[in-house]
Structure 1
Amino acid sequence: MTGRPEKHSLTLRGHRTSVSLEAPFWQAFRAIAAERGLSVNEMASEIDEGRTGDEGLATAIRLYCLDYYRSRASAPARSP
């Protein structure tokens, strides 16, 4: 297993909050943000604004990472 979730502080639109994610999700989240040219806080704010229903922010981030990598896996391969 990946171990216990790690808690990190984020700032969303000027408000501090904390999110607990497992280390692989933090790594994926940071990598995606860097690839998109965003800070972790900026991307977390985007995800937060797009939430619908009762899902928590940690769940929304996990689902975002999953969807991101699923879409890349199903995209046609680029030619060199």
Structure 2
Amino acid sequence: MPGDLKKRSVNLSGHATSLALEPEFWAVLDTAAAAEGLSLAALIGRIDDQRAGRPLASACRVFALQRNAAQA
């Protein structure tokens, strides 16, 4: 069902972190990671480093929206 959250675990700075996002956001993150030659964990790690106190899930959604807007 659209809008359902999908949870994935990623390793950030040596710690397992669970992140729940809608499948549409995961698709953009997967595509972005592949396009940049990064693993999904590496891309999320970069987003994590730049999120400035914003919750990680929110930072990932904003990244995905900005990426789509830049490609439009």
TM-score of the aligned structures, taking structure 1 as reference length: 0.84
Which residue number corresponds to residue 29 of structure 2? Answer: 29
Shift in Å, 1:72: 1.6
Please list every run of at least 4 consecutive aligned residues from structure 1 whose deviation after the TM superposition is greater than 2 angstroms. Answer: none
Question: Tell me, what secondary structure is at the counterpart of 1:30?
Answer: helix
Q: Which amino acid aligns with 2:69?
A: R
Deviations 1:14-40 (A, max 9, x none): 111000001111111101100110000
Q: Whole-Å Cα distance in 2 between the matches of residues 2 and 25 of structure 1? A: 11
* Match in the other structure for 1:17: 17
Percent identity over paired residues: 39
Q: Secondary structure at the match of 1:10?
A: strand
**Which of these two proteins has the greater Rg computed from alpha carbons?**
1
- Computed over aligned residues only, the root mean square deviation of the Cα atoms, in angstroms, reads 1.2
Residue 72 (structure 1) aligned with residue 71 (structure 2):
yes
Q: Distance in 1 between matches of 2:25 and 2:3?
A: 12
Instruction: Name the aligned partner's letter for residue 17 of structure 1.
Output: T
Q: Structure 1: 5+ residue runs without aligned partners?
A: 74-80
TM-score, length-scaled by structure 2: 0.92
SS at match of 1:52: coil
